[in-house]
Chains A and B, each alone.
Chain A
Amino acid sequence: MKINYRQTCILIFLSQIALKFLALPSLLYTKSESNSIFVALFLMVIDGIYAFLILNLAENSGEKNIYEFMKSCLGTVVTKIFLVLLLVKFALSMANISKGLEFFVADNLYNELSWFAYILPLAALIGYMIYKGIRNIARVGEIVCWFVLVGIIFITAKSFSGAEAESFLPLFKDGLSPLFESAFKYSSWFGSSTFLLLLFGKIDFSKKKTGQLVRYLLLAIVLVQFVYYVFYGVFQVTSPTHNFCLSDLSQFSSLHTSIEELSWLVVALWIVAQAVQLALYGYCFQQAIKYIFNIKNNVFPTIVVMLYVFVLSLIGDLIIGLEQIFLSPAVSVITICTQYVIPLVIFIAGKIKYKNKKPRNKNKDDNQQRADDVVTEHTFKQDDSQSETKKQDGKKGAV
């Protein structure tokens, strides 16, 4: 089952905003104060550029999945190493979202949260979404995307008049080094285009519009900048103490309306978007396991992902100082490597390997295209879902 280009753009959009509205603004402030807004801008622009690069490569890779593509360019050993690193990256991203979501639900929504009541439905939901495949996740993303967008704008706009522009001054008072330190330390919260690597062969580029991707990327950047401006402008020096960006903004809204409950509805909807994001990274996690261990069906990797979600909810209680592990330089190095170095290496290797080959002809059918491509021997058999895709190709296009 493939997803279309618009759905891909929506997933990129959701991925760009997913981790940005919980603890990240407060964490960034501890290092680079209100100039953190530029850190977010810088890293999001880089993520946007990487989205273009990876999608370009995915388009030219034809029907190959990332394993096949990397293997043809880099060999089996490097491919497996890269996939393990990507697995770590998605595991970290899942942990980040999961822990943020859990803290938020436990701290803001429920007085006494039952762990069992929280984790059981969540793990079941994530497991089911992953099992049903990427198109299912993309469709849910499509449904919630606009509600989330309007909701976030609504919550933030209510506090806009309370934001003091003066609190952002002086700009770069300690130079640019705190900004780069901040970008390095909190890199795990970015790299929102990396998931596209695991979608090789699963995107239908027949209705590709580059402008569409630009629009969604710009929308995400403008939205995050707007929220950060209001957040830092309202909370100023107390920003590091506000770990729940959106709900705290809602609580300190300078414009009180008679429909305050709506804010919480929006926050609740945003949680759904977080769950979609968790499922997306869970899907990438599952795919990486399949490629690494050469597993053909979806059941075992899905169970592994569900178990991982269970473990994540326990790990915070078992390991004291988990947050410090996330913020350790080693983790930053791994994430930078997986987010920026690996995609770049794959891109360069792909371009070198296929430099004489023409980009994939969209008018040709897939079988013809595959014959045209120089394909190295296929050691990896298509999984169930891909074989299903093959059967359906020609009968109907991707939804």
Chain B
Amino acid sequence: MKKLKTIFSPRKLVLWLCIVLLVFTLPQLNAKAMSQTEAIVTMMFVDKEQDTIKVSAVVLAPGQDRTKNQQVYNGEGETLSAAVDSVSLSLGKDMGFAQCQIMGLGDNICKDGVINVLDYMTRTKKVGRNAGLINFSGKIDEFAQATADVNTSKNLSLEEIINFDKRFILAKNSNIELFYMGYFGDTGIGIIPKISLLDKPYKNSVEAGQSGGESAGAGGSGSGGGQSQSKPPKYLFYDGTMSVFKFGKTVNTIIPTMVDKLNYFVDKNQTGSITVEGVNDYLYNNARVVVNMANKKVFTFVSFKDGKPNLDVSVHISVMVEEVDEENPTQKILRRNQEFLTPELVKKIKEKIESDMHEALDYCKQNKIDVIGVYKHFNAFAYKKWKKYIQQTGKDNFLNDIDLHITTLIKSEF
């Protein structure tokens, strides 16, 4: 006992600590640097061509020229793991996915179902579930190269583009976690941005660098990388189009104008603009007026009337008149310190919002996609009646009998 106490006396403990540190640190001096054994993947793209899975990985190459520090490596295989392994072989390193910020899914694989892909990437390869998720169209290797070039030569990143987008598109981050939430939710709906690759520039497109970038190892085991090829520039095109998934498979694409209409139902979406035509009163002369939404609150109430579900949505918006387009503007419009929100304009804005919201709900009914959370509201606030109702209609047709009642309150931000 006394011996033990002597061995573990405070003075001896310092010695013990040094011994333990030596035991653990000395072997590390001989260890290889992690960058020598593992490649840092910043973006990962997956698609399918016939029965072959194709992958492209954007890999960070530290210490090189900034304009060339992201390189693309491609691989393919019968299974996803075989395709990823083929990229590893061409790289000569393991692929580290912990820093992967974007997961891109091609059109073909989206149609077939993406849940297994996401499961493999998040569970086996440990891609963070906060990584952005996008649907892309076009050739996988070209798309990966374009995004790598945008990141390096334009000081932009796809992540920034889609994260900025969350302010406007249904007010949600697009990431794997949210996709899972939709998938495991009652309706199975998930929404992610759809980005295209164009040969010619178009509005909202981002040129993917003039260099043509470096394309490496087109699949095949151990095919090596780094062959420079000169290619014409491609343009990433994103205008807010969204791909809608139902239980992991694409079912629809929502165009940006419809996204704006759907956004009226979403409380968290605080921004956007409303355009009304033909405003004619003491201030405006048959004008087209654009108002900016400065603040928005959406209150949703649910009830049942004669066994039918009623959705009462109250939209409170603070607006600011931004742009007035009229043929013969008078001096009145130039006057400062006056209220530009006239009763006629308010009436027009209300009409516009109500018609847009009805149109949005009709769109959802027609396509059987509940992207505005109708199921969630009824399930939360009228559970028993809703459960009974769902038993009658089935989960695919529950939107059909929804009666929408809208109340709007327009306030001036002036």
B177 touches A252 (CB 8 A): yes
Q: Considering only CB atoms and an 8 Å cut-off, how many residues of chain B contact the other chain?
A: 21
Choose from B130, B377, B381 the contact partner of A251 (Cβ within 8 Å).
B130
Interface residues of B in 1-45 (CB under 8 A from A): 1, 4, 8, 20, 24
**Which residues in chain A, 92-147, are within 8 Å of chain B measured between CB atoms?**
111, 117, 120-121, 124, 128, 131
- Is the CB–CB distance between A238 and B24 below 8 Å? no
Q: Which of B179-187, B254-262, B345-353, B402-410 contacts A (4 or more CB under 8 A)?
A: B179-187
> Is B120 on the interface with A (CB-CB < 8 A)?
no
Task: Name the residue on A nearest B96 (C-beta).
Answer: A111
Contact B8 A238 (CB under 8 A): no
Q: How many chain-A residues does the 8 Å CB contact rule pick out?
A: 21
**Which residues of chain B are within 8 angstroms of A169 by Cβ–Cβ distance?**
379-381, 383
Q: Quick one: closest A residue to B123, CB to CB?
A: A241
Q: Which 7 A-B residue pairs are closest in the complex by CB-CB distance?
A: A169-B380, A170-B383, A237-B184, A238-B180, A166-B380, A238-B181, A237-B185
- Give complex CA distance A241, B176 in Å: 13
Among A166, A251, A297, point to the contact of B1 (Cβ < 8 A).
A297
What chain A residues lie within 8 Å of B184 (beta carbons)? Answer: 237-238
- Contact A170–B379 (Cβ < 8 Å): yes
What are 25 A-B pairs at a CB distance below 8 A?
A117-B24, A121-B20, A128-B8, A131-B8, A166-B376, A166-B377, A166-B380, A169-B380, A169-B381, A169-B383, A170-B379, A170-B380, A170-B383, A173-B383, A235-B181, A236-B181, A237-B181, A238-B177, A238-B181, A251-B128, A251-B129, A251-B130, A252-B129, A252-B177, A297-B1
Q: Is B156 an interface residue (CB 8 A)?
A: no
Shortest beta-carbon distance, A82 to chain B, in Å? Answer: 29
B1 near A241: Cβ-Cβ < 8 Å? no
A166 to B380, CA, bound (A): 7
B98 interface residue per 8 A CB criterion: yes
B182: nearest residue on chain A (CB-CB)? A237
Given the complex of chains A and B, what is the CA–CA distance between A169 and B381 in angstroms?
7
Residues in A neighbouring B377, C-beta threshold 8 A: 166
In the complex, which residue of chain A has the Cβ closest to the Cβ of B376?
A166
Query: Per-residue 0/1 for B243-284: is the Cβ within 8 Å of any A Cβ (1 yes, 0 no)?
Result: 000000000000000000000000000000000000000000
* Chain B positions within 8 Å of A341 at CB level: none
Contact across chains for A299 and B8 when beta carbons are under 8 A apart: no
Contacts of B87-135 to chain A: CB distance below 8 A: 96, 98, 128-130
Docked CA distance A39–B380 (Å): 20
With A111-B96, A299-B4 in contact, do A241 and B180 touch (Cβ < 8 Å)?
A: yes
